[in-house]
Structure 1
């Protein structure tokens, strides 16, 4: 049995491209999470934390406990 070097090279390149795409997606997710956290800290400073950024209603404490950086109430997220 012989190894097809050309197809092995294509698979290696495909793996490298897939790994690169996954790494870039992770960087984007981390940046988005940092942005959400900074926005929540700004709401705390301004006294608006815990209130929906869309309708102004209070966000349920259980919802904030599950995700402290959540900006909207359940109804506005739907």
Structure 2
């Protein structure tokens, strides 16, 4: 896989947890870290978009997740 290379420093408590996950899943450190980073960035992006959409949703009466669920189900 081609791409950018970065260096990440892990604290003494995180490194053994990462290594255990790698051993149990059969994936490399890079694969696990890439997967975790993709997920975290997707969550951050979702939260950002949600904050931007909230004023528009509130103006139309969508104040909670339940309001949205009720409307689409």
Query: What TM-score, normalized by structure 1, do the two folds share?
Result: 0.44
Instruction: Name which structure has the greater RCO, CA cutoff 8 Å, separation 6+.
Output: 1
Structure with max Cα Rg = 1
